[in-house]
Amino acid sequence: MIMSSNFILLEAVANAGGAIGAGLAAIGAGLGIGQIGKGAVESIARQPEAMNDIRANMILAAALVEGAALFGIIVGFLAMVL
């Protein structure tokens, strides 16, 4: 392993890129799940009897959005490791 300053810089940039990417993915997840929560809570306010159905659909949609965000986080992690 050549410990030139160029190599250290490359590795630092790769790590920084991975970490920033993961942070952006987390922002995306927060925005998405926030909107899902907003829609779900407003729907429950409009029709409280449907609360259980709405809650089930909210959980399902949140898991799908979180899956997409976790794709981004895994790619960020791969940028650090590979």
Partner 1 sequence: MKYCLVAVLSLFLLMFAPSLNAQENHEAAAHENAGEKKKDFDAAEVIFGHILDNHEYHLTEYHDAAGNLHPVSLPLPVIVYSPQRGWNIFMSSRFEHGHATYEGYKMEDNKIIPIKEDGSEAEDVKVIDLSITRNVAQMLFALAILVWLMTSIASSYKAGVGVKSAPKGKQNLLEPVITFVRDEVAKPNLGHKYEKYLPYLLTTFFFILINNIFGLIPGTANVTGNIAFTVVLGLISFVVILFSTNKHFWGHIFNPPGVPGFVKPILVLVEFLGVFIKPFALIIRLFANMVAGHIIIICLISLIFIFGQMSSVAGWATSPVAIGFTVFIYMIEVLVAFLQAFIFTNLTAVFIGAAFEGEHTHSEAAHH
User: Under the rule (CB under 8 A), what is the footprint of partner 1?
Assistant: 56, 59-60, 63-64, 66-68, 70-71, 73-74
Q: How many CB atoms neighbour CB 64 within 10 A?
A: 11
**Helix ranges, the chain (H):** 5-46, 51-81
Q: How far is the CB of 59 from partner 1 (least distance, A)?
A: 7
Q: How far is the CB of 53 from partner 1 (least distance, A)?
A: 10
Pull the structure tokens for residue 4.
């030139």
Would you say 13 or 68 has its CB closer to partner 1? 68
Would you say 3 or 81 has its CB closer to partner 1? 81
Pull the structure tokens for residue 23.
């942070």
In contact, 44 and 52? CB cutoff 8 Å: no
Q: How far is the CB of 67 from partner 1 (least distance, A)?
A: 4
